[in-house]
Structure 1
Amino acid sequence: MITTKSRNLDTPITIGSTEFRNRLIVAPMQQYKGSPQGYATEHHIQHYARIAKGVGFLIVESTAVSANGRLVPNDIGIYSDRHIDPLKRVTAAVHDQQTPIFVQLSHGGRKSAPEVTQRLIAPSAIPYDDFYGTPAELSVSDIEALIEDYRLAARRSIEAGFDGIELHAAHGFLIHQFLSPLSNHRSDAYGGTPQGRAKLLRDTLAAIRSETGPHYPVIVRVSATDYAEGGLNPQELALMLKPLAADGLLDAVDVSSGGLLPVQPADTHPGYQLPAAAIMKQHLHVPVIAVGKIYTRSFADQIIADGLADAVAIGRPLLEDPDYAQAMIGLQA
């Protein structure tokens, strides 16, 4: 039997019904290399195949579920069947490294790229800043149409060969905008209470599950704090997620922070987001993934051994050194 103290980065982890070979995950990182139509390119094939070696699994960059919800003009997308074949070439290249690959499904909401957004939308007509401008408040029928976009994106994700889905509910994008009381001032079923603010997340996960079934890994990336008074905090967010996990809608939580407002954390030391992950782990009975300047093998092993998180995701070092993760796995604790 593996005890908590004997676990380290090399210990296999089960998320949903799938076991992964170790607990080092490649975090999603924008590549800014999509075609004008949102297609993955040769860059994505080469980049993801290179950084995939040795890790437990890899999460690709934000992948738009709507042409109207791209985070940047050169995002990749999954909002039409034409996006499937280019993504298939990416998943095949990563599978050649014997590594599973997840897609990150996203919609920018009020932070969608102005250059390619015909109608800026959000839970409430509250702007992020002057650059993006004031969004239109979504009607219930608008919300239902968006949920359908996510459902179809999940279907395409499976067809494209992805082994799991990460739903992007962090960094100030659409689902995060619904979760936070600072950006969601609605008084209908999609606002008001924590349960109401979590309804879009619940309904979207249920739509995704209608395509994936219960055994396909579905995880959620969240911002555990808005770095502002009256915003989300780790304990409140954990309590919002707990019933979703209990109902089998999500299999793990990837804990980041910020992005809802144009403010930055005062301190970004190594592991600065770890306390939020640890708080969420106290409340949730699904694996918790920590991210945020966790760049050494010894630090990652200590986090896992101490039970502060169940897995560690790294991103930026791989942009400078594509073999960084492989070296990290190869080091001794």
Structure 2
Amino acid sequence: MTINLHDPIQIGTVQLKNRLIMAPMQQNQGTPDSYATDYHVKFYSERAEHVSLIIIESTVVSANGRLFPDDIGIYTEQHTLPLRRIVDAVHAKGTPIFIQLTHAGRKAWPAVTKKPIAPSAIAYDGEYVLPQTMTQADINEVIEQFRMAARRSRQAGFDGIELHAAHGHLLHQFLSPLSNRRSDAYGGSLENRVRLIQEVLGAIRTEVGINYPVQLRVSASDFADGGLTPAEVALALTYLESELDAVHVSSGGLVPAAPLATPEGYQTPYAAVIKQYVKIPVIAVGNIRTRAFANFILADEMADMIAIGRPLLENAKFGEKMLSLA
């Protein structure tokens, strides 16, 4: 039987009515203290009706890991209530909603993070502060921050968690040899470089249990010599798959390098590689704008779900268009 965009699917225990997902996209509309606002409630509810899942933007787990001065966070109990309003608005449209949990690491914006931390003391570029190499105490603190963020996420009513290990943020920094030059148990071999993600996932599972969906977003290529490749990321996922319900495949962000071109579905081949290694559902994302192309990806078993981002920024009704037009 040929799979298409209209077919239902499950991520863990959550049933999705179709295979079209809203990808997380930074809105830069948070308060100076990282609280979600009325803007977010309106923005996500307007886009929730036709997609089968909303994944909200990067939501930081630590005041020391903020992305921008106007991001949103979940690093205190007080952050939970504004996020709950987003959840309720999306649920009113009959759609599940996941939260994306993030720590920026060395990509924490200097205006709001004066002492960023990272696996190694390597700055992202000249605009960012040189980070401090993380001690074991720092690592333990970050794991605890993710654990507490997972607890608050469930309290806020989210149906699942996407753990952000892509786009050059902290967990990606540990995974890539370009940013991780450690010689301890968290550096060197792939088994060591994946260890922090394993420990964060373990901490999250202590809070949410085995029946609460948790997925991982990865960058399958660093677009730089010596960086991550799709095959290496796929191998990393074999260490993590037992704790995951899905994987969301993106690329880049670790260093100031970009792909040479971004044609239609330019990241889909990365998803296809990873799908060969894992049994959990794989989400493809990246300039997928027509139902015909989405159905081709699904029918050819390159991915199990399709995430769209920028088209929904441009047109809140794009989900309806994609499901009804070729």
Q: Same fold (TM over 0.5)?
A: yes
Report the number of matched residues.
Answer: 326
Q: Could you tell me which residue of structure 1 aligns to residue 234 of structure 2?
A: 238
| Equivalent of 2:61 in 65, 84, 92 | 65
Q: Distance in 2 between matches of 1:185 and 1:286?
A: 30
Does 1:76 find its partner at 2:72? yes
Q: Could you tell me which residue of structure 1 aligns to residue 161 of structure 2?
A: 165
Unpaired stretches in structure 1, ≥5 consecutive residues: none
Cα distance, 1:328 vs structure 2: 1.3
| Equivalent of 1:286 in 277, 280, 286 | 280
Q: Distance in 2 between matches of 1:152 and 1:48?
A: 24
The one-letter code matched in structure 2 to 1:95 is H
Maintained 8 Å contact 2:216/2:244: yes
Cα distance, 1:76 vs structure 2: 0.4
Q: Distance in 2 between matches of 1:162 and 1:106?
A: 15
Cα distance, 1:18 vs structure 2: 2.2
Deviations 1:271-310 (A, max 9, x none): 1111111000001111110000001011001100110000
Cα distance, 1:15 vs structure 2: 1.3
The one-letter code matched in structure 2 to 1:42 is D
Q: Distance in 2 between matches of 1:241 and 1:322?
A: 33
Cα distance, 1:209 vs structure 2: 0.8
Q: Could you tell me which residue of structure 2 aligns to residue 11 of structure 1?
A: 7
The one-letter code matched in structure 1 to 2:83 is L
| Equivalent of 2:105 in 102, 109, 112 | 109
Matches within 5 A, 1:44-59: 44-59=40-55
Q: Could you tell me which residue of structure 2 aligns to residue 221 of structure 1?
A: 217
Deviations 1:160-196 (A, max 9, x none): 0100100000000100000000100111111111010
Maintained 8 Å contact 2:11/2:213: yes
Cα distance, 1:326 vs structure 2: 1.8
Identity level (%): 57
| Equivalent of 1:86 in 75, 82, 86 | 82
The one-letter code matched in structure 1 to 2:285 is V
The one-letter code matched in structure 2 to 1:267 is A
Deviations 1:43-101 (A, max 9, x none): 00000000111111000000000011111110000000000110010000000000000
Q: Distance in 2 between matches of 1:326 and 1:48?
A: 15
Q: Distance in 2 between matches of 1:279 and 1:139?
A: 34
Unpaired stretches in structure 2, ≥5 consecutive residues: none
Matches within 5 A, 1:56-205: 56-205=52-201
The one-letter code matched in structure 1 to 2:6 is D
Q: Distance in 1 between matches of 2:274 and 2:166?
A: 15
| Equivalent of 1:259 in 253, 256, 259 | 253
Deviations 1:221-242 (A, max 9, x none): 0000001111100111111111
Helix, strand or coil at the partner of 2:27: coil
The one-letter code matched in structure 2 to 1:79 is Y
Q: Distance in 2 between matches of 1:118 and 1:161?
A: 32
Helix, strand or coil at the partner of 2:284: strand
TM-score, scaled to structure 2 = 0.99
Cα distance, 1:133 vs structure 2: 2.5
The one-letter code matched in structure 2 to 1:311 is M
Cα distance, 1:130 vs structure 2: 1.0
Does 1:329 find its partner at 2:320? no
Cα distance, 1:201 vs structure 2: 0.4
Cα distance, 1:17 vs structure 2: 2.4
Maintained 8 Å contact 2:283/2:303: yes
CA RMSD of aligned residues (A): 0.8
Q: Distance in 1 between matches of 2:162 and 2:40?
A: 18
Q: Could you tell me which residue of structure 2 aligns to residue 39 of structure 1?
A: 35
Cα distance, 1:243 vs structure 2: 2.5
Write out the 4+ residue segments of structure 1 that deviate beyond 3 Å after TM superposition: none
TM-score, scaled to structure 1 = 0.97
Q: Could you tell me which residue of structure 2 aligns to residue 317 of structure 1?
A: 311
Q: Distance in 2 between matches of 1:145 and 1:210?
A: 16
Cα distance, 1:37 vs structure 2: 1.0
